[in-house]
Structure 1
Amino acid sequence: MQSLVCWLLLLFSCTLPPVKGYANGKVASACSSMLPGHGHSPQVDPIHGINVDKSIFKPGDRIKVTLSGTRFDGFLVQARNVDNIEGPAIGSFSLIDEKISQLLTCNGVQNSAVSHTSKDRKLLVEFYWNAPTASPNHVQFLATVVEKYKIYWVKIPGPVISLSSPPPFVYTPPNRKMAAAHQTASLMKRFSSEGCGSSKFCIRNPTSCDPEQNPECHFLSFKKEDRSVLVEMSGHGHGYIAFALSHDQWMGNDDSYLCVKEDERVLINPAYLTGRNYPEIASPDDLRNVSWGLNDGTIQCSFRRDIQIATSKERFDLSGNYYIFLANGDVKNGQILRHHLQPLITNKMYNITGLPEDVGGSRSPFLIKLHGAIMFIAWMTAVSIGVIVARFFKPVWPSSTLCGEKVWFQIHRCLMITTVVLTSVAFVLPFIYRGYFSKRAGYHPHLGVIVMSLTVLQPVMAIFRPPPQSTRRWIFNWTHWATGSTARIIAVIAIFLGMNLPALDLPDPWDTYTMVGFVLWHVFVDLLLEAHGFYLLRKEAHLMDEDRVQILKSSSEKESHTFKKIVLTVYICGNLAFLTTFLAAISQL
């Protein structure tokens, strides 16, 4: 799936258990583990405490509970049976301040947990716990407290309260065993591309790069060994590298694997992507032989997983066919940021446990590449040639017609209609791909809307233009020229901006220099034809004798027409050379 938005929009939260972290406190999925989805190991010694206003209760009692300590962002509090501390939450809570706390339903029991409503910092929260009718003899309060994204405490033990005249209770500290990142051996040597296509399935970007020699090489390999697959992944980056298996080229419902750099170590976890939401981080128990390495800005990680994992629907069967995504990006305060580049996506589905292959992919979605190619054809070639012909070639074919109209007019009209059609088609492609108006593309889409509007306006004005002899014809002429010139200028600016957007991102700085070269080429030909016309006017002004004027004028017109035709031919060749260069670059993405 085309994590062309996103995988593209990939904001990950890496944790070990199968839950997600939410700033709004909607953490019902974390009821059992009480572990936030932040991808970091919990702190050991708690600095927050839980207090209650009574230690003895009877069914139906209301007990005030207070959580306090240094400032914290989020929390989750439950009451549990001391004899089954890993069991479900019991009882129910009532709120004191609905602005900072909210009730949750855990394990089907309504209001059995309480959590934060926002990331606003807190020093103290208070609420009531309501003892159930069928209450256990001893109840303990547990709290998870998040001070900030990377710093949190899980299942902080609170006070134990007891029923009136309960059996003797012997306190035993709760089991603090938490799922933690695998202790991994460090990879000291870079991965090698040896065996790609023969003994292991490889994806490389740039194509055929060797991660052992090129630190900029993004590398992913799968080597089948009996009923498992050894995965090796490396890439240049300061934050994370990741890959995903998908049933299509769109973001969502993907089996993904993350290698996230934290300080001087790498956290490796599987995850599952649902739509464009945060990934659901899963337990690393499905991964074995996990290892990682950091080498001069290159992140390396490897692990082994079974081809089939019957206990998890989110871990795909590796014997199937999938599109493969490869992405990298930065991390800030332990949180994965959106990648600067589009993820690399294979052009077709592959079976990574089948015959070994050595493949590449594209970081640019097909629809976006098509959009760019069509816009280049429309605004670099069709418009430019059409304007040159209309401006300088009206007298070149004075007695020739094409389908009942003057040659220059038919050429101009044909090219401009082509521009309208191409621009209209290209305009809708990003919306088909994104599904919405992109807010991450800067000014480019806004300029595109203006260009599209002006492009449609031009033929509408042409349909209602007055005849050539009309006294109001000059209004159309100037409006037509101004609208067309404005559209061309804005289109060129939009092209400059669009070439460097992540979804296309032609090679820098080559793309800018080449586009500048095209603009200079067009301006040069425009000025050359202007200078030629000015020269002819000056030449005619010096002719005095009427007969001599007619003879020389006829000869001069022939020379002028020949010169213009040569210039037009050379211009078209140069224009097509620039266009072909850009189209070739787009095809290589």
Structure 2
Amino acid sequence: MELSGLAFAVWMFICLCGPLDGYPNGKIREVCSSMMPHHGSSPQLSPEHIITVNGTEFKPGDRIEVNLSGPDFEGFFIQARDAEHLDSPAVGSFILADQRLSQLLTCGHTKNSAVSHTSKAKKKYVKVYWIAPGDAPKHVQFLATVVKKYKTFWVKIPGAIVSQPNAPSPTMPLHRTSETVSASHPISYLTKPFNASGCGNKKFCIRNPSSCDPESASCFFLSFRQEKSSVLIEMSGPSEGYLAFALSHDQWMGGDDAYVCVNEDHHVSVSTAYLKGRSPPVLNSENALEDVSWRLADGVLQCSFRRNIHLTAHKGRFNLDASYYIFLADGEASEGGLIHKHHRQPLITSGMYNITGLPQDIGGSRSPRLIKAHGALMFVAWITTVSVGVIVARFFKPVWSHSFLFGKEMWFQVHRMLMLTTVMLTSISFVLPFIYRGGWSKQAGFHPYLGCTVMALAICQPLMAGFRPSPHAPRRQLFNWFHWSTGTTARILAVVTMFLGMDLPALDLSDPWDTYMMIGFVAWHVGIDVLLEIHSYCLIRKVEVIEDDRIQILQSLTSAEAEASHHFVNTTMRWYDYLFKTITDTSMAFFPFFCRVICLNRLC
């Protein structure tokens, strides 16, 4: 059983990994008929390479020299076919001139009927020999597929033609290639940017930022315009790598119908794709798009194409007369057009829309609602409720020393209520990213690790408070120290975690003023704490000095003078108490105001 399991795993690895690298070893029998590489993109239109031969006529058994030459290329695939029926099987067989560059393959029932590369090493020239069979057709044409890079290739490049002596003229043009993708879907070039004319009236538009001008270099634009049984799609945005949009049944990646425009060395390829989970999109070699055109200028990538509303013959393509969530993403692409993961959160529509229904002009959000709620709840918990709760416990004891609520000191009840609210908000917020991600996030850096630490410390605080010793117990000082240190550590880590979270793409807080406002608030809070500590220290010292002096003076003063001294003490205490209340009241009023401004304008 163990051996069988290992064999199965190896087989699965070969099956899954093979297509990712194409066919670097040239063993490509799977594409003998189509001669189309499984590279997930469309072939180029204008060949850069040529096929030549050393003669124009042949007889059965003759050896014809065949040469493939042109700019550097990595892979090739050569066949000879009936020139009047280019979709027919390969004819004849080949002999190698250099076994280091080329190898023989068997296509169909004819041995050695094709030649391909042996490695990805760059080459400019390949020579082979073709042996004419006894049942050769009257006219034979050589075809070649050439791969310059992984996603830059030409399919069925028409080559030279050789004919049998006295053969009648062919019944159709000889130099025509049978590559239907290139022939039926020509690519043109856009001459100017798209515009928003007709958005909401004649076509369905998505813009980010909302209502931005697609002629602007900072505007992401996607439009759909129905024309009878097809839809014309326009997409543009600031990207030098790729732009993509997808139709989805939910707001999570996976099982989606995607369309990708990729910049491949200043040439834009447009293709359909399928999203499986959070893996890179699987590009389709069978393209269902028509009227493809593109433009690449000033860092803005534009592409437009047309597709039918219903594509029953193409697996994975959704019908365009239903409602879907719409994703719009951009990112980098490496040399050869390989797509990299987007660095920021894709734009996702807030609801499901029918792009062939009533035309609308909408925006979208790059921050999912669950992530927004996570950030807002954490902000309220660790910037508002916990901050007010700490100030109440630390500085309101003398102010509310004779006030009670439900049989307990008011400061203690308010402190406990605010801290329990903090734990509750943190617990609710803690689970939201796991619900959205469906598990642990590997791209969030230290943020989730610190978040788990803060959650653990937040839970420890009320558990620890449940075992609080009495005020005069010997272990009360130890409890106070642990309670203070745990809470302070949690507050510091929470602030650090929030700063790290603000830089994550899922929250979409790219404006640096968001960070500056957070820094300003933290500085305000630290300053208030320091000021209140200084105030408390000065008040205690002043009272101690006044009390000592008052005792000494009372021993030598008359009753009238003693009453005046007592009035001075009361006046001093009232002044300090007024200053204290002014500072704390201002601080407490500022917390919720600041929270509302941030949450409503940025997070919400």
What is the distance in 2 between the residues matched to 1:137 and 1:283?
Answer: 27
What is the distance in 2 between the residues matched to 1:246 and 1:309?
Answer: 16
Aligned counterpart, 2:433: 430
The structure 1 residue matched to 2:320, chosen from 314, 318, 321, is 318
What is the distance in 2 between the residues matched to 1:188 and 1:361?
Answer: 28
Aligned counterpart, 2:280: 278
The structure 1 residue matched to 2:233, chosen from 214, 231, 249, is 231
What code does the residue aligned with 1:565 have?
Answer: K
Rate the CA distance shift 1:380–1:215 in 2: closer, same or farther, 3 A.
same
- Find the residue that maps to 1:203 and give its secondary structure: strand
What is the distance in 1 between the residues matched to 2:533 and 2:224?
Answer: 62
Rate the CA distance shift 1:127–1:241 in 2: closer, same or farther, 3 A.
closer
What code does the residue aligned with 1:457 have?
Answer: C
- Find the residue that maps to 2:142 and give its secondary structure: coil
Rate the CA distance shift 1:161–1:438 in 2: closer, same or farther, 3 A.
farther
Structure 2 matches for 1:468-479, cutoff 5 A? 468-479=471-482
Structure 2 matches for 1:8-47, cutoff 5 A? 21-23=19-21, 33=34, 35-37=37-39, 39=41, 41=43
Deviations along 1:276-330, whole A, 9 cap, x unmatched? 2332322464222211112211111111111112212322111111111111111
The structure 2 residue matched to 1:495, chosen from 490, 498, 508, is 498
How far residue 564 of structure 1 moved from its aligned partner, in angstroms, is 3.0
The structure 1 residue matched to 2:442, chosen from 434, 439, 443, is 439
1:412 equivalent in alignment to 2:415:
yes
Structure 2 matches for 1:450-489, cutoff 5 A? 450-489=453-492
Structure 2 matches for 1:383-402, cutoff 5 A? 383-402=386-405
How far residue 152 of structure 1 moved from its aligned partner, in angstroms, is 11
Structure 2 matches for 1:182-331, cutoff 5 A? 183-212=186-215, 214-283=216-285, 285-331=287-333
What is the distance in 1 between the residues matched to 2:572 and 2:30?
Answer: 87
- Find the residue that maps to 1:322 and give its secondary structure: strand
Aligned counterpart, 2:12: none
Aligned counterpart, 1:136: 109
Deviations along 1:182-210, whole A, 9 cap, x unmatched? 54222121111111111111000000011
Deviations along 1:430-486, whole A, 9 cap, x unmatched? 111112221211111111111111111112221123222111211111111111111
Aligned counterpart, 2:584: 568
- Find the residue that maps to 1:286 and give its secondary structure: coil
Tell me which moved more, 557-566 or 467-476: 557-566
- Find the residue that maps to 1:483 and give its secondary structure: helix
- Find the residue that maps to 1:542 and give its secondary structure: helix
Structure 2 matches for 1:553-564, cutoff 5 A? 553-564=569-580
Rate the CA distance shift 1:206–1:267 in 2: closer, same or farther, 3 A.
same
Rate the CA distance shift 1:519–1:136 in 2: closer, same or farther, 3 A.
closer
Instruction: Say whether the 8 Å CA contact 2:102–2:118 is kept in structure 1.
Output: no
Deviations along 1:486-521, whole A, 9 cap, x unmatched? 111111111111111000031321111100110111
Bigger radius of gyration: 2
How far residue 555 of structure 1 moved from its aligned partner, in angstroms, is 4.7
Aligned counterpart, 1:379: 382
How far residue 30 of structure 1 moved from its aligned partner, in angstroms, is 6.3
Instruction: Say whether the 8 Å CA contact 2:39–2:285 is kept in structure 1.
Output: no
- Find the residue that maps to 1:335 and give its secondary structure: coil
Instruction: Say whether the 8 Å CA contact 2:199–2:360 is kept in structure 1.
Output: yes
What code does the residue aligned with 2:579 have?
Answer: F
Rate the CA distance shift 1:507–1:185 in 2: closer, same or farther, 3 A.
same
Higher helix fraction (1 or 2): 2
Deviations along 1:352-404, whole A, 9 cap, x unmatched? 11111000111011111111011000000011111111111111111211112
Instruction: Say whether the 8 Å CA contact 2:271–2:287 is kept in structure 1.
Output: no
Instruction: Say whether the 8 Å CA contact 1:240–1:258 is kept in structure 2.
Output: yes
**Structure 2, unaligned runs of 5 or more:** 1-16, 52-71, 91-98, 145-155, 157-176, 555-561
Aligned counterpart, 1:545: 550
What is the distance in 2 between the residues matched to 1:473 and 1:316?
Answer: 67
- Find the residue that maps to 1:202 and give its secondary structure: strand
- Find the residue that maps to 1:485 and give its secondary structure: helix
Aligned counterpart, 2:120: 147
Task: Give the TM-score, by structure 2 length.
Answer: 0.74
- Find the residue that maps to 2:345 and give its secondary structure: coil
What code does the residue aligned with 1:350 have?
Answer: Y
Rate the CA distance shift 1:180–1:142 in 2: closer, same or farther, 3 A.
farther
Deviations along 1:100-159, whole A, 9 cap, x unmatched? xxxxxxxxxxxxxxxxxxxxxxx9799999x99xx93545245466738xx899xx9988
Aligned counterpart, 1:8: none
What is the distance in 1 between the residues matched to 2:522 and 2:373?
Answer: 22
What is the distance in 1 between the residues matched to 2:43 and 2:193?
Answer: 27
How far residue 264 of structure 1 moved from its aligned partner, in angstroms, is 2.1
Aligned counterpart, 1:342: 345
Rate the CA distance shift 1:79–1:478 in 2: closer, same or farther, 3 A.
farther
What is the distance in 2 between the residues matched to 1:391 and 1:270?
Answer: 62
Instruction: Say whether the 8 Å CA contact 1:228–1:304 is kept in structure 2.
Output: yes
Greater RCO, CA 8 A, separation 6+:
1
Tell me which moved more, 284-293 or 547-556: 547-556
Instruction: Say whether the 8 Å CA contact 1:143–1:157 is kept in structure 2.
Output: no
Aligned counterpart, 1:527: 530
- Find the residue that maps to 1:147 and give its secondary structure: coil
- Find the residue that maps to 2:252 and give its secondary structure: coil
Instruction: Say whether the 8 Å CA contact 1:345–1:363 is kept in structure 2.
Output: yes
**Structure 1, unaligned runs of 5 or more:** 1-18, 48-71, 90-122
What is the distance in 1 between the residues matched to 2:28 and 2:603?
Answer: 47
How far residue 36 of structure 1 moved from its aligned partner, in angstroms, is 3.1
Rate the CA distance shift 1:541–1:400 in 2: closer, same or farther, 3 A.
closer
1:364 equivalent in alignment to 2:367:
yes
Aligned counterpart, 2:8: none
Rate the CA distance shift 1:195–1:329 in 2: closer, same or farther, 3 A.
same
What is the distance in 2 between the residues matched to 1:30 and 1:463?
Answer: 70
Rate the CA distance shift 1:227–1:172 in 2: closer, same or farther, 3 A.
closer
What is the distance in 1 between the residues matched to 2:282 and 2:402?
Answer: 73
What is the distance in 1 between the residues matched to 2:29 and 2:584?
Answer: 68
The structure 1 residue matched to 2:596, chosen from 569, 580, 585, is 580
- Find the residue that maps to 1:264 and give its secondary structure: coil
Tell me which moved more, 500-509 or 537-546: 537-546
Rate the CA distance shift 1:76–1:280 in 2: closer, same or farther, 3 A.
farther
What is the distance in 2 between the residues matched to 1:207 and 1:512?
Answer: 23
What is the distance in 2 between the residues matched to 1:29 and 1:351?
Answer: 43
How far residue 560 of structure 1 moved from its aligned partner, in angstroms, is 3.9
Instruction: Say whether the 8 Å CA contact 1:273–1:280 is kept in structure 2.
Output: yes
Rate the CA distance shift 1:139–1:383 in 2: closer, same or farther, 3 A.
same
How far residue 77 of structure 1 moved from its aligned partner, in angstroms, is 10
- State the identity %: 47
How far residue 563 of structure 1 moved from its aligned partner, in angstroms, is 3.4
What is the distance in 2 between the residues matched to 1:157 and 1:389?
Answer: 87
